[in-house]
Structure 1
Amino acid sequence: MLALTTQAADYTVTSNTITIPVKSPTATGARLVKLQVVNSKIIRVEATATTSFPQKNSLIILPQPDYNNFKVTENGSSVTVATPDVKAVVDASTGHVCFFDRNGKTLLDEVGGGKGKEFKPYTVPNREIGADSRLTDEQRHGWTWTATFESPDDEAFFGLGQHQSEELNMKGRNEDLFQYNTKIAVPFVLSNKNYGVLWDSYSYCRFGNPNDYLQLNRAFKLYDKDGNPGALTGTYTDRDGNTITRAEDSIYYEFALPDIAARGLTDVGVANLPKGFKLNGAHVTYEGFIEAPEANLYHFLLYYAGYTRVFIDGEEVVPERWRTAWNPNSHKFEYALDKGMRHHLLIDWYPDGDVSYCGLRVATPRSQAEQNRLCIWSEMAKDMDYYFIAGDNLDQVISGYRTLTGKAQVMPRWTLGFWQSRERYKSSEEIESTLKHFRDKHIPVDNIVQDWNYWKLDSWGSHQFEQSRYPNPQVMLDSVHSMHGRFMISVWPKFYCSTDNYKALDANGWIYHQAVKDSIYDWLGFMGSFYDAYSAGARKMFWKQMDENLYSKYHYGIDAWWMDASEPNVRDCTPMWYRKALCGATDLGSATEYFNAYSIVNADAIYNGQRSVNPNQRVFLLTRSGFAGEQCYSTASWSGDIGTRWEDMRAQLTAGLSYSMSGIPFWGMDIGGFCVENRYVKGQQEYDNTGKENADLKEWRELQARWNEFGAFVPLYRTHGQWPLREVWNIAPEDHPAYKAIVYYDKLRYRLMPYLYSMAGAVHFDDYTPMRALVMDFNGDSKVYDIKDQFMFGPALMACPVMKYGERHRSVYLPQQKGWYDLYTNKYYGGGQTIDVDAPYDRIPVFVPEGSILLFGPEMEWSDEKPADPITVYVYAGKDGSFTLYEDENTNYNYEKGLYSTITFKYDDASHSLTIGQRQGHFSGMLKNRKFNIVLRTPQTVDATLNPDSAKGKTVAYKGKKLVVKL
């Protein structure tokens, strides 16, 4: 169809796009602004500092149908684009854009004076290009842009991916958006004002302060511990008591680098620590005074490995944190400093290993008004490109996000069961015997996982089992399936140079060469690199190699793919510029421009590859990185190689909630943590030798119990980690409270399978989000905006994990919109209050809101062991409520053809009646006749201990026709 173009004095309309020249652009402002009306609630804004828009293809936005239900009007310099639900007004003189809802209320407003959009030309530095210097001049150039919007005081921001600083409401906070082990960047922010902003940029980005963190000497006047100006005092004491003292003008020992001085190395790395000093077993302090140039709330960034604490003016602003040396972590904190006053600073560091890391930087100070704005910075893009998405609630905003980026798939039913993993099973015998042990002990489990290094040591990327340890992989897979298990295997996009797969990819120019050029050997002592997933040809070859060596070769016996290191992580602990050099140039352009999007193109390779070979088996990918739109490739993410401390567990809750509110619904973590402190290792070793539980092992077991209690209420319920082993019988003996707690929540998870799988259906058909920060369901109650230790798991369960050692009770806030029932006892509480509740070792508090309908199925040891019949339906009085039971064939794509069924339950509180609606749809194997036991819970219900098997209710026979049950 030919596009309809109309021309007005200050704008041009072509189909559903309105292009507006800016009459009086600032020196760094936009010259053209273009609005594209996607639908009644989504408007795209594209802006450029040049006189034309670039030609480009999006990696995340799907083609959208033309939309024409909008009006364009002009009033003076203002051009208004209005749909039935939103309105965008552009000031043609400056390019300023403001969005309103259908009632004229301001939702999103750029800062004025043409400063809401700022551009700076960007050229990729030579050192970032990488060994494959194939970039065109056009690909080397782009724009750094900053978009800044006003934000009212009562606004809260969420999303941005998965980060590890125990932050939820991001108002007034800073976040660097880049991919790294334990860190996932998603360019989407969600507002409690019921809108979101998705920006189509793949480069390194920042939320909040657009400026880089500063070294301490650039932000403050420094004084040593004796008050002498110029530097802090660094004191290095090795394990033998030898001490070195020296001046430190910055604390920036953040990188371990290969010999790459020829590439213009200017970053400070661990090589700048005292020469010859042995860090392992040492104690290091950095002490002195910092003097701020202005009074402000300063935002600090601590980078650490080993044990680290930070004190300012004697206050412990960062309590002890630990991270293993091969996988450092960062932590943000804030502290108010006075102008011209010397504040005492002490960094107390116990390195962990021969190489360890420490860094402390601070953000450029900004006024509180500036800090509280919504500010987005993109390092390199072809132009500014973002989507404004409005909704009546946050679920509708996320639905708009998935309209743009793709529907999430219905995950296979078995993925909602329990997953057993460890780092790592070393043979097929270990895989089979572990699964058999679960079955022998009747502990529910669905999936067992093969982590890395199942290949021959020198053959990473061969995708082949080492025969001595896996003599017959087909027999192993058949054995797993005969025990009603599923099998997931780890595949990295990494190849040793000696492998045939590397050579085949390299022959086509589909391997990143910088790591090879710089002779980087990994921790196993071999050299290789990653493939260029941005190339369509490379993706096809990558899948072909997986298919020939793992998938079709073993008759589709592999049920899921674990796509590890998909950042991509070519090498740990390197500066940002060198990471870009290691990952480029890509087939599409510079690694600088495409820095964050590798995991989505890699997911594309597996999803479309498997469906091309075996089109009716549901794909499942678990990937360590993620990006906007990844949900459409049947992909879930997990939070990487996290630590095993209580603060790490706390950080996973905010990480998972933020990731879920970034529009990607399936997420999980290494339950129990991955990297283990030596004290826990020694505690297990002592127990193995003596049979005695020392203090460290006692804490370890409680940590594992509490983490499993929490993990039972997240979308993916998977335990994993380094030694000590993570099977429940290896954590504690059967009579131990840790063992009992873990098994209890495992069994509870399986009883909830009808509820869980119905949520999986709602994710696809209704764009639902299972793991929910309280703001998603109780927006308007400002107390919930930053609650970091409670969350909704679906509409009927508020989980309140216990995340401190030895805690046996905790406070819980009950949102004001509803009354609440204790899941286990039925005790009723009014909303809008904070209560103190018991939290014994073997239970975490869980509450059910009024109006909930909660479904429990029969006990099972795997997800499809038996039909979901009978189902006990708990109805919680006090509000009207509804819930839809979704069922299909569990593992295939027939639901895409309409082969599924739904049964809707509606509760009317005034009449205490439950209507079970007529069944909609059908599928092969569907239960035509079934039983529901309807159990009403009211505040007056007595003898109401949770027990779906003995709960007294009304049992009804259901044959697919509408029933009304009076309760």
Structure 2
Amino acid sequence: MPYSPKITLLSVNGLAVALGLGAALPARAQQYQQSATGVTVTTDSLTVSVQFYAPDIVRVLKYPKGAPGQHQSLVVEQGPTPGKLRYQARGGVVQVASPTTQVRVNQQTGYVSFFTAQGQPLAAEQPGSLRFRPKTDLGAPTYRVRQAFQLAPGEAIYGLGQHQDGHLNYRGQQVMLKQRNTDIAVPVLHSGRGYGVFWDNYSTTQFADSDKGAAFDSEVGDCVDYYLLNGQGTADGVVARYRQLTGQAPMFPRWTLGFWQSKERYRSQDETVGVVEKYRSLKVPLDGIVQDWQYWGENNDLWNSTEFGNPRFPDPAGMVRRVHALHAHQIISVWPSFGQKTKIFRDLQRDSLLFDFITWPRTPHVRVYDAFNPKARDIYWSYLNKNIFSLGMDGWWMDATEPDQIQPFDTDDDNRTPLGSLRRVRNAFPLVTTQGVYQHQRATTTDKRVFILTRSAFAGQQRNGTMLWSGDVDSRWDVLAKQIPAALSLGMAGLPYWNSDIGGFFPSGQYPKGVQDPAFQELFVRWQQFAAFTAMMRAHGEFTPREIYQFGQPGTWAYDALEKFIHLRYRLQPYLYSNNWNVTSRAGTLMRALPMDFPRDPKVTDMSSEYMFGPALLVRPVTESQYVTRPNKNVPGTTDFAQVKNQPVYLPAGAQWVDFWTGERQAGGQTVQRATPIDVLPLYVRAGSVLPLGPRQQYTGEKADAPLELRVYPGADGEFTLYEDENDNYNYEHGAYATIRLRWNDRARTLTLDKRTGTYPGMPARRTFRVVLVDAQHGTGLGDETAPAREVAYTGQQVAVKL
């Protein structure tokens, strides 16, 4: 029978909690044992283990009495840590407390509740919500497990991965946590009250919030296993505790911040290299080119052989050398599935390391490798290394890491892994397959940072050097709008790096004329503007080409708008790279849902149309057509730019805001109507920001010694830390980097460049900064070359600039 405890409740500040320590002792006191890291409580039918992994991180493990109660985590990297814990047992409740977090376990029911150090309610299980439903899985006894958590009135909840439902606040919502193309399942709940819950289960899980609590209900589990993350009231604190538990995100190479060109697919090495050459001839910046599938050949029996078997790619090493000679980088598509005539298929099949389910392409029957098996991961890397990485390839596009499966799913799950059925671990497949590539490449060389672009993820995957993308989304305006909350939810779940196919992957259903249709051009322009403020700016899709020169000539509206935002992306590189360091060194978040920075502004609780990009920039993408009219999808649209349209933008309370393009200052806490000509995305800078900008350049590092511009946005005090290193390799992990703290004192009108901290090989001893004070007349938008500036010669010592 399922376990269903009953408990008397007391309401404290709107949150139901277990009776306090002074309550009457139950008729039968149950057993408990304390240890250096926590406490174990045994009831009549249940064992509850509470362990502190840090003062702000608590693991709760529950299993039926007498069961083994073991769960080896694929996600958690650290173990429980002895600390300064205090123990108390009174009134039928056992309490164990760190300096920041109190945990109380009811000895009769096993109900667990969490409090701050001051005894204020933090989080609590929903009484009566625990379920262990017996079942068998591949003949082995196990359970379907469920646990719900109480939420306070008005409490917002975020996270849970990436989903295409348009929600930011998941209060009152249901979400199926199951890896699929365009959906990323990450069982991390992030509360607006400043705590998080990581549900450590890898099977398909239904999340549902209702008056019965916010519940995780997992298909398979020998126990209930979750972690309470006490962010001490802040969203950044929750993310920091999650990364502390599951691993920090390493630095990507600096060149990944540039513009990337891709499509489905470049059919020859001449075409691939020719795209890079064309960008160079047009003097449009470009840093990366992506080689999609069928470089192995067009016969699906050779699917994903990892070898260049296609005769249109006669010299793959020469192709990579040519791309490098053009000062660009290349990544390549690899899959977890293999055709039956490939060498890697035979090696994996010999050791029974292939799953047997239907995946894409459906015919002939390609098969997915068992990434949960270390030997299979070794074989996979051996082929990638020998056939691709040895060519000098710069990174990986690991496609279909869900892995992509075709219905029905129920028989697929009966495949066996070293950890049990695929059903038991299916959601963790992207974690282990990217882990295999990351760890093997790190073991092969430390001279080149691992960069993996992939469309699926699980908790902990940030440590594998992965950049996520939103999958094969449709080319529609409503889909563009939904990319924003999808990205922000993933960030609130702790995974910091995300992007999407500019223009959407599937345009043919909506735009059969493709790039020749002005309606598609308008969508593509607005999507590219949004992409300039994501972790990776990458054009990709099927059916119609996506290169900038396909959209017209210089001087035409689409071409010019696209080029403008590519240049802006390159100017923002110092800001972006420093923010990436903040992600690595301080568990930061790049694309920030507004509740992260403005938790006291109720208007942003569920605002999914805007976000902060780092600490300074407020971004409001345009997600509706404004200038193109199209009677139906079979007729190209007609443009009308005679009247400039507007976009409402909410400026969060608690700050003043400066229009990036005009320098106009606005008070927070209001909605303004921002004019949005086709080449303008509403972009505001938080007053007090110091925004470092680099030079215009054709590729990352072209003008490494050029002056940097420091834009100061007055109206409040502020600071920013500029980070620099060798731009690739892992020497930064051993201290080879430098930082300069930039501090703005608004009352004194003084910008202070602090003494440089640290050093790295090749660091310039002297550099020039152009300091610009932004107002409505000077130093705005991209036309800063004529803005009045104070030129500062910086040699590493503190400098104060009066403005």
Q: Which residue of 2 aligns with 1:713?
A: 533
Q: Which residue of 2 aligns with 1:186?
A: 186
Q: Which residue of 2 aligns with 1:567?
A: 402
Q: Which residue of 1 aligns with 2:150?
A: 150
Could you tell me whether the CA contact under 8 Å between 1:857 and 1:868 is conserved in 2?
no
Superposed, 1:314-353 pairs within 5 Å as: none
SS of residue paired to 2:169: coil
Structure 2 residue 783 is the aligned partner of structure 1 residue 947: yes
Matched to 2:373, the amino acid is: S
Q: Which residue of 2 aligns with 1:42?
A: 57
Q: Are the structure 2 counterparts of residues 74 and 51 from structure 1 closer, same or farther at C-alpha, using a change threshold of 3 Å?
A: same
- Which residue of 72, 79, 91 corresponds with 1:76? 91
- Which residue of 903, 914, 921 corresponds with 2:740? 903
Q: Which of these two proteins has the greater Rg computed from alpha carbons?
A: 1
SS of residue paired to 1:592: helix
Structure 2 residue 468 is the aligned partner of structure 1 residue 447: no
Q: Are the structure 2 counterparts of residues 944 and 642 from structure 1 closer, same or farther at C-alpha, using a change threshold of 3 Å?
A: closer
Could you tell me whether the CA contact under 8 Å between 2:474 and 2:506 is conserved in 1?
yes
SS of residue paired to 1:155: coil
For 1:608 and 1:588, the matched residues in 2 are separated by: 20
Structure 2 residue 361 is the aligned partner of structure 1 residue 522: yes
Matched to 1:193, the amino acid is: R
Q: Which residue of 1 aligns with 2:203?
A: 203
Q: Are the structure 2 counterparts of residues 382 and 861 from structure 1 closer, same or farther at C-alpha, using a change threshold of 3 Å?
A: same
Matched to 1:416, the amino acid is: L
Q: CA deviation at 1:9?
A: 7.3
Matched to 2:160, the amino acid is: L
Could you tell me whether the CA contact under 8 Å between 1:701 and 1:732 is conserved in 2?
no
Superposed, 1:192-341 pairs within 5 Å as: 192-208=192-208
For 1:369 and 1:599, the matched residues in 2 are separated by: 33
Q: Which residue of 2 aligns with 1:740?
A: 560
Q: Which residue of 2 aligns with 1:854?
A: 691
Could you tell me whether the CA contact under 8 Å between 1:825 and 1:946 is conserved in 2?
no
Q: Which residue of 1 aligns with 2:18?
A: none
- Which residue of 110, 113, 117 corresponds with 2:130? 117
Could you tell me whether the CA contact under 8 Å between 2:514 and 2:543 is conserved in 1?
no
Q: Which residue of 1 aligns with 2:443?
A: 612
Matched to 1:950, the amino acid is: T
Could you tell me whether the CA contact under 8 Å between 1:510 and 1:535 is conserved in 2?
yes
Structure 2 residue 101 is the aligned partner of structure 1 residue 86: yes
Task: Write out per-residue CA displacement over residues 273-307 of structure 1, whole angstroms, 9 at most, x where no aligned residue.
Answer: xxxxxxxxxxxxxxxxxxxxxxxxxxxxxxxxxxx
Q: CA deviation at 1:736?
A: 2.0
For 2:797 and 2:211, the matched residues in 1 are separated by: 59
For 2:94 and 2:686, the matched residues in 1 are separated by: 46
- Which residue of 241, 266, 269 corresponds with 1:428? 269
User: Please, which moves more after superposition, 584-593 or 156-165?
Assistant: 584-593
Structure 2 stretches of 5 or more lacking a match? 1-28, 628-644
For 2:779 and 2:279, the matched residues in 1 are separated by: 33
Q: Which residue of 1 aligns with 2:461?
A: 630
Superposed, 1:435-474 pairs within 5 Å as: 435-458=276-299, 459-474=302-317
For 2:375 and 2:448, the matched residues in 1 are separated by: 24
Q: Which residue of 2 aligns with 1:964?
A: 800
Matched to 1:62, the amino acid is: E
For 2:705 and 2:591, the matched residues in 1 are separated by: 23
Q: Are the structure 2 counterparts of residues 48 and 638 from structure 1 closer, same or farther at C-alpha, using a change threshold of 3 Å?
A: same
Q: Are the structure 2 counterparts of residues 818 and 53 from structure 1 closer, same or farther at C-alpha, using a change threshold of 3 Å?
A: farther
Superposed, 1:478-627 pairs within 5 Å as: 478-515=321-358, 522-523=361-362, 525-552=363-390, 554=391, 557-569=392-404, 571-572=405-406, 574-581=407-414, 584-627=415-458
Q: CA deviation at 1:96?
A: 1.1
Could you tell me whether the CA contact under 8 Å between 2:37 and 2:80 is conserved in 1?
no
Task: Write out per-residue CA displacement over residues 738-763 of structure 1, whole angstroms, 9 at most, x where no aligned residue.
Answer: 11111100000000100000011111
Matched to 1:466, the amino acid is: G
SS of residue paired to 2:607: coil
For 1:914 and 1:743, the matched residues in 2 are separated by: 32
Q: Which residue of 2 aligns with 1:824?
A: 661
Query: Runs of at least 4 residues of structure 1 off by over 6 A?
Result: none
Q: Are the structure 2 counterparts of residues 590 and 944 from structure 1 closer, same or farther at C-alpha, using a change threshold of 3 Å?
A: closer
CA RMSD, 1 decimal? 1.7
Could you tell me whether the CA contact under 8 Å between 1:461 and 1:501 is conserved in 2?
no
Could you tell me whether the CA contact under 8 Å between 2:263 and 2:539 is conserved in 1?
yes
Q: Which residue of 1 aligns with 2:600?
A: 780
Matched to 2:191, the amino acid is: S
Q: Which residue of 1 aligns with 2:20?
A: none
For 1:521 and 1:768, the matched residues in 2 are separated by: 36
Matched to 1:376, the amino acid is: F
Q: CA deviation at 1:947?
A: 2.9
Q: Which residue of 2 aligns with 1:385?
A: 225
For 1:775 and 1:616, the matched residues in 2 are separated by: 39
Could you tell me whether the CA contact under 8 Å between 2:695 and 2:706 is conserved in 1?
yes
Could you tell me whether the CA contact under 8 Å between 2:53 and 2:78 is conserved in 1?
no
For 1:880 and 1:683, the matched residues in 2 are separated by: 48
Superposed, 1:690-701 pairs within 5 Å as: 697-701=517-521
Structure 2 residue 569 is the aligned partner of structure 1 residue 728: no
Matched to 2:134, the amino acid is: P
Task: Write out per-residue CA displacement over residues 801-839 of structure 1, whole angstroms, 9 at most, x where no aligned residue.
Answer: 000011621111111110111001011111111111111
Task: Write out per-residue CA displacement over residues 244-271 of structure 1, whole angstroms, 9 at most, x where no aligned residue.
Answer: xxxxxxxxxxxxxxxxxxxxxxxxxxxx
Could you tell me whether the CA contact under 8 Å between 1:78 and 1:89 is conserved in 2?
yes
For 1:107 and 1:164, the matched residues in 2 are separated by: 30
Could you tell me whether the CA contact under 8 Å between 1:89 and 1:99 is conserved in 2?
yes
Superposed, 1:657-672 pairs within 5 Å as: 657-672=488-503
Structure 2 residue 320 is the aligned partner of structure 1 residue 477: yes
Q: TM-score, normalised on structure 2?
A: 0.92
Could you tell me whether the CA contact under 8 Å between 1:872 and 1:948 is conserved in 2?
no
Could you tell me whether the CA contact under 8 Å between 1:754 and 1:868 is conserved in 2?
no
Matched to 1:169, the amino acid is: N
Q: Which residue of 2 aligns with 1:230?
A: none
Q: CA deviation at 1:103?
A: 2.6
Matched to 2:222, the amino acid is: K
Q: Which residue of 2 aligns with 1:760?
A: 580
Q: Are the structure 2 counterparts of residues 781 and 772 from structure 1 closer, same or farther at C-alpha, using a change threshold of 3 Å?
A: same
Q: CA deviation at 1:160?
A: 0.5
The share of aligned pairs that are identical, in percent, is 38
Could you tell me whether the CA contact under 8 Å between 1:769 and 1:794 is conserved in 2?
yes
Matched to 1:619, the amino acid is: V
Could you tell me whether the CA contact under 8 Å between 2:395 and 2:451 is conserved in 1?
yes
Q: TM-score, normalised on structure 1?
A: 0.76
- Which residue of 730, 739, 745 corresponds with 1:893? 730
Matched to 1:884, the amino acid is: T
Q: CA deviation at 1:401?
A: 0.3
Task: Write out per-residue CA displacement over residues 211-252 of structure 1, whole angstroms, 9 at most, x where no aligned residue.
Answer: xxxxxxxxxxxxxxxxxxxxxxxxxxxxxxxxxxxxxxxxxx
For 1:53 and 1:15, the matched residues in 2 are separated by: 21
Could you tell me whether the CA contact under 8 Å between 2:488 and 2:591 is conserved in 1?
yes
SS of residue paired to 2:52: strand
For 1:110 and 1:843, the matched residues in 2 are separated by: 48
Structure 1 stretches of 5 or more lacking a match? 1-7, 26-30, 125-134, 210-367, 688-696
Structure 2 residue 722 is the aligned partner of structure 1 residue 880: no
Structure 2 residue 691 is the aligned partner of structure 1 residue 676: no
Q: Are the structure 2 counterparts of residues 943 and 742 from structure 1 closer, same or farther at C-alpha, using a change threshold of 3 Å?
A: closer
Matched to 1:104, the amino acid is: G
Could you tell me whether the CA contact under 8 Å between 2:508 and 2:543 is conserved in 1?
no
For 1:947 and 1:766, the matched residues in 2 are separated by: 33
Q: CA deviation at 1:650?
A: 0.9
SS of residue paired to 1:924: coil
Task: Write out per-residue CA displacement over residues 726-779 of structure 1, whole angstroms, 9 at most, x where no aligned residue.
Answer: 001113333321111111000000001000000111111011110111111111
SS of residue paired to 1:576: coil
Matched to 2:411, the amino acid is: Y
Task: Write out per-residue CA displacement over residues 191-214 of structure 1, whole angstroms, 9 at most, x where no aligned residue.
Answer: 1101000111000012115xxxxx
Could you tell me whether the CA contact under 8 Å between 1:858 and 1:868 is conserved in 2?
no
Q: CA deviation at 1:869?
A: 3.3
